[in-house]
A and B are shown apart, each in its own frame.
Chain A
Amino acid sequence: MTAITDMPEVPRAARRPQMGNPALRWLRTNLFSSIPNGILTVVLLAILAKGIFSFVQWGIANAVWLTPANDSSGCRAVRGLGACWAIIPEKYRFILFGTYPFDEQWRPALSVVLFIALYFLSTRRVLWRRELIYLWIGALALISVLMWGGVLGLSFVSQDRWGGLPVTLILATFGLAFGFPLGILVALGRRSKLPAIRSLSVLYVELIRGVPLVSLLFMASVMFPLFMPSGFNIDKLLRAQIAIILFAGAYLAEVIRGGLQAVPRGQYEAADALGLSYWRKNRLIVLPQAIRHVIPPLVNTFIAFFKDTSLVLIIGIFDLLTTAKTAIIDPAWQQFSVEVYIFVAAIYFVFCFAMSRYSRSLEATGGR
């Protein structure tokens, strides 16, 4: 048997005497543990160096950072050689806030800050109790007042003028705020002993999850007017918001159902033994445990549909991606869409990356 003598790689590095320069030792174990590994490292380093070099050349060395307002000639001179970051200072107000009245744009900016504060507070374990619900209601009400205005001396801004980052955050946050209770109800319905309620819940979840969000959004934009009595119509943003809530509700219901399944039977039986009613049993005993089990997948679902709100572009709602796409329709700046997309991608990335880090830290501590 030759196989025993050439046992696979794991122990080889460990067998070497552990001495010498720690940095060299690290290099040897992690990058050059064997000849193929060493070759791989060199090849990867070469590719990486080339990639970084060309990016630095394009994105920093040859880039144009500032131009006089509304003048893209400086950028067009270096087209193909360097990035035109000057388009960001030129267009960032439109990308971030859309067609919101220019002088009032502090209001959406403040709303964004409120949203971020709300997310941040929701991650604090100390605040995980009933008061958090009041906090959410209060913050969302405050944001509505800020965005709409019409009271407290703020001028009224209709929602067809909203745009950019606040719209993305509104679609995602209100989608969560309404989709979550809906998801809880549907998850309970799916585990109910009552056949009619169970089959309605299954039908809802499977129908929504079986079709792409795009088709739901189409439905909201074209079919909704057909569904309503003539003369009655609601705004496009609200219709998309309803579609997103229904969509989020179905996906959240499945996650919550997983949590409900993880609650031991004994807990249900104990609650029954105490004589609690169905709703009290679920509210006081079952749901708190079930939701605690599934907080990391809930955060992941939230990341997924934070990204999915960008699909409203297809039905022409001015979220962050749509304003970015609209900003580069301007003929003078048309050729610099890559820069704008990188800027917007960075914004999405910051939000999603923060949430995924948070979800990972929850997984590490076991939600405790």
Chain B
Amino acid sequence: MRRRKSLPLEKGFCAVTSDTPRPPPRRRLFGAWGRRELQGLFWQVLVVGIALAVIGFLWSNTVTNLSARRITTGFAFLGREAGMPIADSLLAYNPRDTYLWAFVVGIGNTLRVAVIGIVLATILGTLIGISRLSANWLLSRLAAVYVETLRDIPLLLQLLFWYVLMQALPAARAAWRPVEGVFLSNRGLILPAIPLGPPQLWVLGTAVFGLAVVYLIRRWLIAQQMRDGKPRPVWPFAVSFIIALPVLVSVLLRVSWKIEWPELRGFNFVGGLTLAPEYFALLIALVTYTSAFIAEIVRSGIQSVPRGQWDAANALGLRRSFMLRQIILPQALRVIVPPMTSQYLNLTKNSSLAVAIGYQDVVSIANTTLNQTGQAIEAIALIMAVFLTISLSISFFMNWYNARIALVER
């Protein structure tokens, strides 16, 4: 490290001119350790000391308070019976299950809204971002109004608003039917669904397997093209592995794909897929709010591609779809991906607002646990652990993706 001697200029350094005599070099107190190092050491010891003192103070208070309230710390309570009802969950749950399982169910609910929210918000946000750049004045103005309005109103307010609208929907008997088989009522959104049992999952598994195979084939084909410059179509492989293979498996195993239509029986619906009003309101609020931010990211990403790139692609006579796919998008994605990551993280963290409308995500379940058992530290630690894990996984995945699409410079 370079060592810069600092002159004693702390006070009135205007007085220093070229004819001010230089002070004699300082004697070093501790061998090779200069003043800077000593100062650095002093500050570090001071700050760490204060931090430790504060933590120690809080810790000793906490221990005293917990013992006064007869709360034993530790995660033993996770094995006890939870006894809290969870109305709407992805995983099977019964109030007699343990707190641990209740937490897992809560994590499932958080992921259910976050993953689907991220997918839908990306689609909607991209459409709106592109609309803002449309040559059609009306479309671009409408998209701008959408973005400005949703960005400037708190998400919690939007969430409460959607939830109130859900509750104001007609009862199940008078449900709205926008399309045959779809019902919208104060019981939520009910959609026709295909029941998924093991045979159907096997067929879907085949399709996923086909997708992986096609991905490898595509890499190989591109490597071939790099060698001799001849383009080789990938679609015959895609059709045969992703579509034909699963269809074949499905026909051979006689898997049934019968659609289950929801029906009104008495006061409620039977069959189909039900999105509870809480879930549906949370999903709509998260998707519309986040899509406004994603739209801005997509817009600025596309605008960041220099005009010359469009002109050059036009001059080469490339087809428009090819030009967008091969020239514009790869360059825009480099600008889009990093801020998109933080929007995905925001959406996931914002899903914790669920507690305000009674959708039981992990934060809401931790809060109930905390009220029931008094295990405040453990409950909050679990929330933090869950969100840190989710955040780190998303950042890890997006960083991997970002590294893949990043500019390879010579």
Contacts and interface: CB of A to CB of B under 8 A. Distances in A.
Given A214-B355, A352-B151, A1 B317 contact: yes
Interface stretch (B203-211, B227-235, B381-389): B381-389
Interface residues of A, number: 65
B48 A215 contact: no
Interface stretch (A66-74, A102-110, A111-119, A216-224): A216-224
B377 A275 contact: no
Given A3-B318, A30-B137, A352-B153, A196 B9 contact: no
Contact of A211 (B64, B355, B387): B387
Contact of A196 (B48, B58, B363, B392): B48
A303 interface: yes
Interface stretch (B82-90, B158-166, B177-185): B158-166
B388 A210 contact: yes
B51, B135, B318, B356: most-surrounded residue (chain A CB, <10 A):
B135
B135 A37 contact: yes
Q: Interface residues of B: mostly helix, strand, loop or mixed?
A: helix
B380 interface: yes
B58 A227 contact: yes
Interface stretch (B122-130, B264-272, B345-353): B345-353
Interface string A224-249: 01111110000000000000000000
Given A3-B318, A310-B154, A200 B51 contact: yes
Given A228-B61, A341-B161, A341-B164, A223 B350 contact: no
Nearest to A337: B164
A222 B157 CA distance: 24
B409 interface: no
Interface string A1-19: 1011001110000000000
Given A214-B352, A226-B376, A230-B64, A196 B47 contact: yes
B156 interface: yes
B29 interface: no
B10 interface: yes
A160 interface: no
Contact of B142 (A33, A44, A196, A222): A44
A307 B154 CA distance: 5
Interface string A333-368: 001011001001100110011001000000000000
Contacts of A321: 154, 156-157, 160
A243 B320 CA distance: 51
A1 B366 CA distance: 64
A337 B168 CA distance: 10
B134 to A, nearest CB: 8
- Residue of B58, B152, B349 contacting most chain A CB atoms (<10 Å): B152
A214 B61 contact: no
A280 B366 CA distance: 47
Given A197-B44, A215-B384, A227-B61, A338 B165 contact: yes
A314 interface: yes
Contact of A200 (B10, B47, B352, B370): B47
A41 B44 contact: no
A212 B352 contact: yes
B353 A344 contact: no
Contacts of A335: 168
A166 to B, nearest CB: 17
A25 to B, nearest CB: 13
Contacts of B317: 1, 3-4
A308 B346 CA distance: 12
A241 B41 CA distance: 33
A33 B376 contact: no
Contact of B138 (A45, A215, A325): A45
A277 B356 CA distance: 50
Interface of A: 1, 3-4, 7-9, 30-31, 33, 37, 40-41, 44-45, 48, 193-197, 200, 207, 210-215, 218-219, 222-223, 225-230, 272-277, 280, 303, 307-308, 310-311, 313-314, 321, 325, 335, 337-338, 341, 344-345, 348-349, 352-353, 356
12 contacts: A30-B136, A37-B136, A194-B40, A197-B43, A200-B51, A211-B387, A218-B383, A225-B65, A227-B58, A227-B62, A275-B9, A277-B6
Given A196-B47, A211-B349, A276-B13, 10 more contacts: A3-B318, A33-B135, A44-B138, A48-B138, A194-B44, A215-B363, A226-B65, A227-B61, A313-B356, A345-B158
